[in-house]
Amino acid sequence: MKHLILIFSMLALFIFPSAVHADVAPPINPPGYNPEPGAESTQVRMMAETVLVDVQKDFDLQSLGNAIVTADFIMRNLGNDSESMAVRFPIAAQNGRFEYPEIADLKISVDRKKIEHRRTSFPDEGDPSQMIPWAEFDITFPPGQDVSIQVKYKLKGSGYAPYTAFYYILESGAGWKDTIGSADIILRLPYEASPQNVVIGLQIGWAETTSGGVFQGNEVRWHFDNFEPGPHEAAIHNMEFALVAPSVWNNLLIARANVTKSPNDSEAWGQLGKAYKSVFLMHKYYRDDDAGKELYKLAIEAYEKCLALNPKDAQWHAGFADLLANHAFWNSFLTNPTMDVYRAFNEIHTALELAPKDAKVLEIAESIYLMFPEGMIKTENGYDFPWLTQTPTPLPVTLTILPAESTVATSAVDETATFVPRITNTPLPISSPGKNETTPAPKTTLPCGAAALAPLTISIWLVNKRKLLH
């Protein structure tokens, strides 16, 4: 019985559309925190705070990035007596795997003078049996006077490439008197900020950018007035910033610059298409927000330009097929395959004709075959493409897709047009070596209902393999 429950629980992850966006949480690095008072009752109010999360430049594609956090606070003692206390905040947090990474390079200033802090420990709220480290420092708050506190440190990004996330907890400031007067939270990037590189209105699996941010040049800004942070539903209790990993976005900017410099270079256009694809395709699924649709369109245009300049480059045909097939595969959880799958078959067929022994072409062909085993069949001599040689059955020739996809334009295909299949009678051979395209590890088509039980085991293996190759 336990085994049946496990099987059907795992099936739910693959079958139901609401689960498509779900992801296993990665280890989370510690967030930044507002300082909290060391006394249970205080007359000191946090009048204003400004928090700058300054994301640093990064060119290491294996990195999730770093940010320098500078948090400035104006505190005012509203009472009649001076208060001296140990102000504190946590410098570590459980990462979800029973480890406690710490923030780095902590520096504290009071009224613009650097002060020392000491390390102490308090029980973890989630697991009181575990003690976690805190920073603690002494301050005196004279009555009626403003005291400025600045806390500066380094945060590491969390998540799965090509995306990352940073966090800042406002809730720890709830212990001061009354509400927080005002807060300005600033996310600063080392390049222009946009909805393409800061994900707005989309949960990426382990983070969702706090709503209400305003884009201004390299920054996204939030402002709050007279608010009480806390765990209750209406409270503002933390900030989340979900964004493209800085190294990945820098790579895309370099690819953009290269096509501007060399507009007739097919390789430059291919690399740009690949860069857009790497941002469009997330750890699992793809970005279906408005900015994601723009990224998909830009990726298609870049691949088309590449192949118009060099139509005999097998690897870029295969890379284009990989983009189209991944998009169509995830859509197939929600509706019939879109025209993208047929276009993907055309592209991978062309790649196999041009380079039947190329290792990268074969790797991508295998990936697409495992996504759509009914439309691309492996034979002794290579692959056959029944969906290109005959009208798909039971799929309709004129396809209807979800409204969310109707705005994703491709310059060569009308999503609702009748498809004229490419006729191919010759099975294509298989073999080996390769060059510059990387593809997610293969996935398999999952039918609904009891029919999904058979491919379940291989589906789990393929997803795990994708994690290793990503």
The stretches of 264-358 forming alpha helices (DSSP H) are 266-280, 290-309, 314-331, 339-354
CB-CB contact of 125 with 166 (8 Å) = no
pLDDT in tens, 172-215: 899 999 999 999 999 999 999 999 999 999 999 889 999 999 99
State the CB neighbour count (10 A cutoff) for residue 466. Answer: 17
Amino acid 333: pLDDT? 72
Please report where in the chains the tokens 């991978």 appear, as a residue: 348
Structural domains in the chain? 32-245 (2.60.40.3680), 262-469 (1.25.40.10)
> How does the average pLDDT of the chain come out, rounded?
80
Amino acid 282: pLDDT? 82
Distance CA(440)–CA(461), nearest Å, equals: 13
Residue 272: phi and psi, rounded to 5, are: -65, -45
pLDDT in tens, 282-305: 877 899 999 999 999 999 999 999
Distance CA(387)–CA(261), nearest Å, equals: 40
pLDDT in tens, 85-99: 999 999 998 888 888
Q: What is the DSSP string of 176-188?
A: SSS-EEEEEEEEE
**Kind of pairing, strands 180-188 and 219-227?**
antiparallel
Q: Is 137 a residue whose pLDDT tops 70?
A: yes
State the CB neighbour count (10 A cutoff) for residue 401. Answer: 19
Distance CA(237)–CA(231), nearest Å, equals: 6
Distance CA(133)–CA(95), nearest Å, equals: 14
Q: Is 431 a residue whose pLDDT tops 50?
A: no
Amino acid 103: pLDDT? 93
Dmax of the chain from CA atoms? 91
Distance CA(102)–CA(415), nearest Å, equals: 50
Distance CA(303)–CA(11), nearest Å, equals: 35
Amino acid 235: pLDDT? 54
